Each structure stands twice: as structure tokens, then as C-alpha cells.
Amino acid sequence: MYYNNQDVRLEELPTPQIGPGELLVKVQASGICGSDVMEWYRTKKAPMVLGHEITGEVAEIGKDVDRYKVGDRVFVSHHVPCNTCRYCLNGLHTVCETLHTTNYDPGGFAEYIRVPPLNMDRGVFLLPEEISFEVGTFIEPLACVVRGQRSARLLPGLTVLVLGSGISGLLHVAMARASASGRIIATDISDYRLDAAQRLGADVAIDAKEDVPARLRQANDKRLADLVIVCTGALSAFQQALQSVDRGGTVLFFAPTEPGVDLPVPVNDFWRNGITLMTSYGAGPLDIAVAIGLIRAHRVPVQEMITHRLGLAETGLGFQMVADAGESIKVIIEPQR
């Protein structure tokens, strides 16, 4: 039960009771996401059970469920679109009102979750035998990266600058490498994470406290980046992004700022130089299917990103690790441990 980043408690709740068209899933692994430790985003709804990167086994099926059986290994998406509104029909699934209001009960940091009918209908994916439960926790975050890079039209040969080498940044680095992009440059303030970025595909790793645009030019034949991806909420990174994008390039704001923070944009310069600014939030069903295929084919080395596996009673420790952004990359909670 999440109260804040320093107060995550183990509390006893009744096992959810399922109804018609629902599933009861026994959670085997649940990843801690960077968004889970954004206190400004989470504490306003606390106390609550978080966790949305889960894999598990179907423990019980409700009436009229015929697509799944007890024992099936599954990944379950917490947010699902309606697929019928004008946004979904235009490929904008992640701004669908239904997607923003759906979830499972109570949350992934629990022994069992109830999967409501809508999530059961379009948010449950059978986990291929080649994908372990812990590796399957990367499906949701990788799907978000897939959607972001597809929306930004990352093409082979383009230079990519990733600002922030936490788990999202590292997934962007690895995905860009899998997509045969050109030079990949990553930044962070942590030597531990800069080393991880280079292991996972970055050609150059730059301390974010340095003059990033200048170092970028040194590493990229005197050019700035074709695609800049912001994967940290630090305002300094947003400012660096605007200074690091080349003519005709794109800045993808993958991470948000805190509420009320405004970013001054040199509109005149960007207009003249054909620069695109865009955001990306969440993932749709297609992105999830692509992510499963990438993981199954070992195109993205997600296994190498796992640094900690903890039991349910240690979830508070896991939250502290992720919030501190120290020597951890992916922390996975195993409720049945």
C-alpha cells in the first residue's frame, strides 16, 4: 500500500472476488516504474496499491470467459482503450478517455489482481514460453518506448540523443540500437547509469552536468541530434533538449515536468529550422504486441537491465532504490516469493 516514497506498507486485503467476464490473476512479477515514484503524481491518490508492469498466471475465470483457462501465463495491461472513439479510430489510443479510466484491482504489487471485463477483453496477452515472468515485466515499458519512437518517426541512420539514462532512457537506447539508428548518445548525472547506457548500445555517454550541446557536436561530426528524447523530469534536461536538436529534427518529451513548470521555446528559431516538438504517453495494443515480439526475438536485451528482485514485503525498499536513482536499474517485485 503506497502512501509516499518513504512509506510503503504491507497490508492484508481480501483476495478480489471476480464476476462474469473477469479473471483472477496470481501475480508472479511486477516491475517498479519510474512513474510509480513521481510523488506529485501519486500521493494525491494515496493510499493505493500501485504496480502496472505485471505478469502472472490465471488463477480463476469468470462466467462467459472462454479465451483463457486456469494456468495460462499472461501479461495484463492496466490501461486499455475503447477502440471506438474518434481518438482510437485515428490511432491516438493513449488519449482515449477509456484508457485513462481503466485499471485492474487492486494493483500489481499484490498477490492477486482482478481483471475487469474490458481489460480481459483487450488487455490480456498470453505470455510466450520463451519469455519468463520477470522478463515479461518489460512488455509495458518497452511498448511505451515503441510507441514513442514510432510516433517520432525514428529512421535508420539518424542520430539519437537520450537525455536521462534511467530505465526509460536505457530502453530507448536499446530500442534505437535495435532499430539500426545512427549514432546514439546518452546522458545522465550518474556514472553507474552512463556505464549501463554504453553496455546497452550508446556509442557515447555524456555527464549531464557538462555542456551537452558542445559535447554532442564533438561526438557527432559537429552536428546536433536528429532525434532528442527527454527521459527525465529535470528542467535542465528539457532546456538541453531545445539546444541539442538539429535542423529538421524532433524533440520527443517522453517524461513530463512537474505540474506548473513551463518551458520557454524559441519558436522563431524552430519555425525557421523546421523543428518538431512532441510528447508521448503510454502504449496501445499494437505497441504491446510489437514489444512482445521484440522481447521474444531477443532484439532488446531487457534481461540485462534487471538489477534487483525483491519479495512483496520488501517493496518499500524497492521504491527507495528507484526514487534514489542510485545503483539500480530495474527493480522487480515477486509477490509469491
| Structure confidence by residue, pLDDT tens digits, 32-58 | 999 999 998 899 899 999 999 999 999
Q: How far apart, in whole angstroms, are the C-alpha atoms of residue 47 and residue 42?
A: 9
Three cell numbers, residue 217: 557536436
Q: Does residue 245 contact residue 213 with C-beta atoms inside 8 Å? A: no
Predicted confidence band at 181 (pLDDT cuts at 50, 70, 90)? confident
* Measured distance CA(231)–CA(270) in Å, rounded: 21
| Burial category of 243 from C-beta neighbours within 10 Å (exposed 0-12, middle 13-18, buried 19 and up) | middle
Burial class (CB in 10 A: 0-12, 13-18, 19+), 85: middle
Report the percent of the chain where pLDDT is more than 70: 100
- Rounded to an integer, what distance in angstroms lies between the CA atom of residue 88 and that of residue 72? 29
Mean pLDDT within 189-198: 98
Exposure letters 37-51 (e unless 16+ CB within 10 A, then b): bbeeebeeeeeebbb
Euclidean distance between CA atoms 143 and 108, whole angstroms: 17
The class level of CATH for 153-279 reads alpha beta
Phi and psi of 311, rounded to 5°? -80, 170
Q: Work out the percent of the chain whose per-residue pLDDT is above 90.
A: 97
Cell of 93: 489510443
Q: What does the pLDDT read at residue 242? A: 98
Query: Whole-number mean pLDDT of the chain?
Result: 96
- Domain 2-142+283-334 adopts which CATH fold? Quinone Oxidoreductase; Chain A, domain 1 (3.90.180)
The pLDDT, as a whole number, for residue 180 is 86
Nearby residues of 84 by Cβ (< 8 Å), 6 or more positions away: none
Average the pLDDT over 292-303 and give the result. Answer: 97
| Domain regions of the chain by residue span | 2-142+283-334, 153-279
Q: What cell does 80 get?
A: 486499455
> How confident is the model at residue 3, as a pLDDT?
97
What are the distances in angstroms from CA 331 to CA 138, 146, 199, 317, 318? Answer: 11, 21, 18, 10, 6
What's the pLDDT tens digit per position in 214-271?
A: 999 999 999 999 999 999 999 999 999 999 999 999 999 999 999 999 999 999 999 9
d(CA 275, CA 226): 10
CB count, 10 Å around CB of 239?
A: 13
53 φ/ψ angles, rounded to the nearest 5 degrees: -115, 75
- E runs forming strands in the chain: 2-4, 7-8, 23-31, 53-61, 73-76, 112-115, 124-126, 160-163, 184-188, 204-207, 225-230, 245-253, 276-279, 306-311, 330-334
If you write DSSP's letter for every residue of 192-210 in order, what string do you get? Answer: HHHHHHHHTT-SEEEETTS
Q: Which residue has the cell 474518434?
A: 86
* Radius of gyration over every alpha carbon of the chain, rounded to an integer in angstroms: 20
* Res 106: pLDDT: 97
**How far is the C-alpha of 4 from the C-alpha of 45, rounded, in Å?**
10
Would you report the helix, strand and coil content of the chain in percent, each value rounded to 5?
Answer: 35, 25, 40
Nearest to 226 by CA among 265, 274, 260: 274
Q: Label residue 62 by pLDDT band (50, 70, 90).
A: very high
Distances in Å between the Cα of 12 and the Cα atoms of 58, 110, 171, 241 are: 21, 10, 34, 45
Mean pLDDT over residues 302-316, rounded? 97
In the predicted model, what is the mean pLDDT of residues 205-222? 97
Asked if residues 125 and 139 have their Cβ atoms less than 8 Å apart, the reply is: yes
